[in-house]
Amino acid sequence: MRKAERLNEIVHHLRRMHQAVTADTLAALFEVSPRTIYRDIQDLMDSGIPITGEAGVGYVIDKQYHLPPIMFDADEIEAIALGIGMVSNWTDAAFARKAKSAYEKIQATLTAPMIHELTQISTFSAPSRYKIPWKVNFTEVRECIRRKQFVTFSYLDLSDQVTERTIRPLALISFSPIWLLAGWCEMRQNFRNFRLDRISDFSVSPQRFRDEKGKALSDYLKEQDECV
């Protein structure tokens, strides 16, 4: 990775983080020495980017800082277009509209050569007759995840047994053509995955939950990694 690209990626990384990031962590991430990171950070600070650091604590960036317009290469544009096509074909109409809106905003920032690259795209996501329909409102489920609201529903398992579940919804996961709702199940007191097409009588509780140790999305993802 060239230095200019690394400097840009350091800024992006610091903006994503909600806590200070050490030079050692950045060095491991970008596969350079801590000394190189020290120089990179100083170069960024000298250029006016509001990064502050403290020995033994790490670096943080002022979240009010806005980056210059992002530049994409041809492969990045194609990857974005493919992802938006997949969203349009495998989610719902509301989310598809959001994806289209995002893509239009990205297009508005592109240079003339990049606009030309859009006409050369050769990777597509087409509608599939194998898509499995579901009864729940996909956008509503996403909003419950974002708002951290308990949800209750009837679930038909693979043995055709129906149970009533109350869960903390954590994520929607695509295993085309199946969508899974991952969450902490209050009945099982463990993480569970539920197929959207087997959920009925979906109800949103006004009660919200807070992330608790052992029950949060990060814990779920860690458990999934350990199972691989």
CA distance 205 to 68: 41
Indicate which CATH number applies to the domain containing 172.
Answer: 2.30.30
Do 145 and 169 lie in one domain? The reply is yes
Do 9 and 53 lie in one domain? The reply is yes
The total of structural domains in the chain comes to 3
Do 146 and 207 lie in one domain? The reply is yes
107: in domain: yes
216: in domain: yes
Residues 155-177 have pLDDT tens digits of 999 999 999 999 999 999 998 88
Do 22 and 94 lie in one domain? The reply is no
User: Which letter, b or e, does each residue of 113-132 get, where b requires 16 or more Cβ atoms within 10 Å of its Cβ?
Assistant: ebeebeeeeeeebeeeeeee
53: in domain: yes
Indicate which CATH number applies to the domain containing 48.
Answer: 1.10.10.10
Residues 52-86 have pLDDT tens digits of 987 678 999 987 777 666 677 788 888 988 999 99
Residues 6+ apart with CB under 8 A from 213: 219
155: in domain: yes
Do 35 and 12 lie in one domain? The reply is yes
**At residue 129, does pLDDT exceed 70?**
yes
Do 81 and 42 lie in one domain? The reply is no
Residues 191-225 have pLDDT tens digits of 999 999 999 999 999 999 999 999 999 999 999 88
26: in domain: yes
* pLDDT given at position 221: 92
Residues 6+ apart with CB under 8 A from 93: none
Percentage of residues of the chain with pLDDT beyond 70 = 96
Range of the domain at 98: 74-118
